[in-house]
Amino acid sequence: MRQTKQRKVILDVLTSHKDHPGADAIYEEVRRILPRISLGTVYRNLEMLSENGTILKIENGSQKRFDPTTHPHSHFRCVKCGAIEDLPFEVGDIIAPDKLNDWAGDRKIDKMNLEYTGLCAECNGSE
């Protein structure tokens, strides 16, 4: 995939985040740098970047969120405010690789998605 100026700015904006923003939030920031960019262009580029494995697309609920971290890792999603954050554990800490390898056999695993849900610290303190 060719690295266009628009794609580079979109990637730069995304990698500056740790909060897994949606396309609308990314668009608002990109627009400050490239005022003439359209929301459709941002959506198309995010889809292309996720399809080729440059970024991770998180699909749950009504809005897609994006993550610049593509290695296997798990997330925590707040069921109240929708915040998503990376868990500070390696996947091997959660599922022992030898157990997964024993089970996998002739299966080919392309990716994993492990998500914990609950209330984030802010929402938990507000109830």
Tens place of pLDDT for every residue, the chain, 127 residues? 788 999 999 999 999 999 999 999 999 999 999 999 999 999 999 999 999 999 999 987 678 999 999 888 889 999 998 889 998 876 655 555 556 667 777 777 776 778 889 999 999 986 5
For domain 5-67, give its CATH number from 3.30.1390.10, 3.40.50.620, 1.10.10.10, 3.30.70.100. 1.10.10.10
The whole-angstrom separation of Cα 113 and Cα 123 is 24
Give the Cα separation of 70 and 66 in Å (integer): 10
Domain spans of the chain?
5-67, 75-126
Q: Write the pLDDT tens digit of every residue in 48-74.
A: 999 999 999 998 767 899 999 988 888
Inter-residue contact 82 to 43 (CB < 8 Å): no
Residue 25: CB atoms within 10 A of its CB come to 17
> What is the gyration radius of the CA atoms in the chain, in angstroms?
17
Q: What is the distance of C-alpha 87 from the center of its chain?
A: 12
CATH code at 75-126: 3.30.1490
Residue 20: its pLDDT value, please?
A: 95
pLDDT at 115: 87
Instruction: Report CA 15 to chain centroid distance, whole Å.
Output: 10
Token couple for 2: 């060719």
For residues 127 and 119, give the distance between their C-alpha atoms in angstroms, rounded to a whole number.
Answer: 10
